[in-house]
Each structure stands twice: as C-alpha cells, then as structure tokens.
Structure 1
C-alpha cells in the first residue's frame, strides 16, 4: 500500500463521486495509478559525465507498485483543530485500509487510488481529550464500516 503525495492525484480522485459516506468520513475511489512526476531537464549529456548513463528504472522500496493500491488522507484543520487529533485520525484511516486488505484479500479493496476525507469534526463535548481512547475507538468503528461499504461499491 502506497501513500498519495501529489496534489494532482488528490484532485483527480476527489473529482469522482463518493463511494461511501458516514457521519464524519467520505471515501473516494479511482481505478487508476498515480501520476508520474515530470522528467527533470538534463543539463549535460550522459556521455559528458564521468559516471556515464544509467538505464535502470528506479523501483519503489515499499512494494507499492506491486500492490497497486495507493491511499491518501484529507483531515482539514477546520474539522480537527489539534495536530494530535489529525494524526490520530490519519493513523486510524491507514489502519482501516490495512484491515480491509488483510480481512479478505480477494474481495477486499480493488486496486487503484483511494482518498478518505474527514467531512465533519467529532464533537469536542463528547471527546474532550484530543487523543483519547474513546475518540480512537469511535473513529475506528466508523472507518471500518465506511471502508467495507466503499469496497463493496467499488467492486460492484
């Protein structure tokens, strides 16, 4: 599982309709691969360099290319003011995706680009602590449900 990093990829995926929605999260999916960065301009010819030219293509270290699944998270400050809360929610999103992949590899998430977006904040009266176990459990339960629903809709 790779992570989406480029804004172009986020814009492409967020331009698609939501696959699943809950009270706090929305899931978007695009059956595609992430865009490739533009090739850097060459200042010198390969023959001019002492090291010569390399024809080998760089490979991804984490095996993202083989898995074919890339995940992006959108957790805006307007819905989660504290950085510790945003980090907790991002970790819960990635955990939910991993659980979806491991629970049923054949019928899990289809390969492509996935973006999970926080669309509403959690009530601070119910979750006073920015990183409480109650918030973690509530987010985990909701994310498990919404990811399972999104996987079913993306496959069918």
Structure 2
C-alpha cells in the first residue's frame, strides 16, 4: 500500500466518487488511469509531466481537518487508526487511490480526553464499518464483470 503525499494526488482522489460514508467519515476513490501511472520516458523534461501515481497499487491518504478535530493529539490518533484499519483491509481494496476524510467532529462531551481509549475504539469501529461498506459496493461491480466474461 502506497501513501498519498502531494496536494495534486489528494485533489484528484477527492474529485473521484465517494464510495462509502459513515456518521463521521467518507471514503473517496479514484480509479487509476494509464496516464496516472505511466512512467515518463528516459531523459524526460518539462515537456513530459510526471504522472500523479507512479505504480498501479492501492494508494491511501487521510484527511483530518482542524475544523473537526481541534487538538493535534486527536488528529494524529485518528490518522493512525485510519492507516491501521486500512492495512487490515488492504487485500479487499481495489488498486486505486483512496482518501479517508473526517467529515464531522466526535462529541467532546462524550470523549473528554484528546486521545482516550474510548475515542480510539469508536474511531476504529466506525472505520471498520466504512471499509466494510466500500468492499460491499465493490463486490457487485466485480461480480458483474466476472459474470460477463465467457
């Protein structure tokens, strides 16, 4: 699994479709095209732009905005959970670029500590649900493609 690192990679992936949502998270997916992963020719100059994604693989990025998680400790804990749960589900993800985006705040009255065990468990449970929903959505497409083949 590769990690998204540049702003253009995140922007391109966010422009793709939203494949799953939960109460706090959204999963965006961009199916990689040939020009996204093509290697530039030897001695390439500015005439040949570099591809966004170097290899055809599962790419993952995490967006946890300050707007929804004010403390850095909380943002880092959520990002760690995103990458850990994605690693568990890496075999079920298709080779594409994915971004997990925090889209609403966790209730500070319920999770008083910036990085409590209860918060980590709630985040993990919701991320497992998010990846389960995304794999269920991908299964019918794969089943249809498989049934169309002779």
TM-score range, shorter chain: 0.7 to 0.9
Structure 1 stretch displaced more, 137-146 or 8-17: 8-17
CA distance in 2, matches of 1:112, 1:40: 27
Give 1:1-12 correspondences, 5 Å limit.
1-12=1-12
In the alignment, which of 64, 83, 97 is matched to residue 113 of structure 1? 97
CA distance in 1, matches of 2:112, 2:13: 33
Q: Which runs of 5+ in 2 are unaligned?
A: 47-53, 142-150
CA distance in 2, matches of 1:35, 1:87: 29
Whichever of the two has the greater Rg, that structure is 1
TM-score between both structures, scaled by the size of structure 1? 0.74
Q: Deviations over 1:129-154 (max 9, x none)?
A: 00000000000000001111112223
Ranges of 4+ aligned residues in structure 1 off by more than 3 Å: 33-36, 38-41
CA distance in 1, matches of 2:5, 2:37: 10
Q: Deviations over 1:58-87 (max 9, x none)?
A: xxxxxx947x11101110000000000000
Is 1:91 matched with 2:91?
A: no
Is 1:100 matched with 2:89?
A: yes
SS at match of 2:73: helix
Give 1:5-154 correspondences, 5 Å limit.
5-32=5-32, 65=55, 68-101=57-90, 105=91, 108-154=92-138
Higher relative contact order (CA 8 A, sep 6+): 1
Query: Which structure shows the higher helix fraction?
Result: 2
CA distance in 1, matches of 2:84, 2:55: 20
State the partner residue of 1:58.
Answer: none
* RMSD of equivalent CA atoms: 2.3
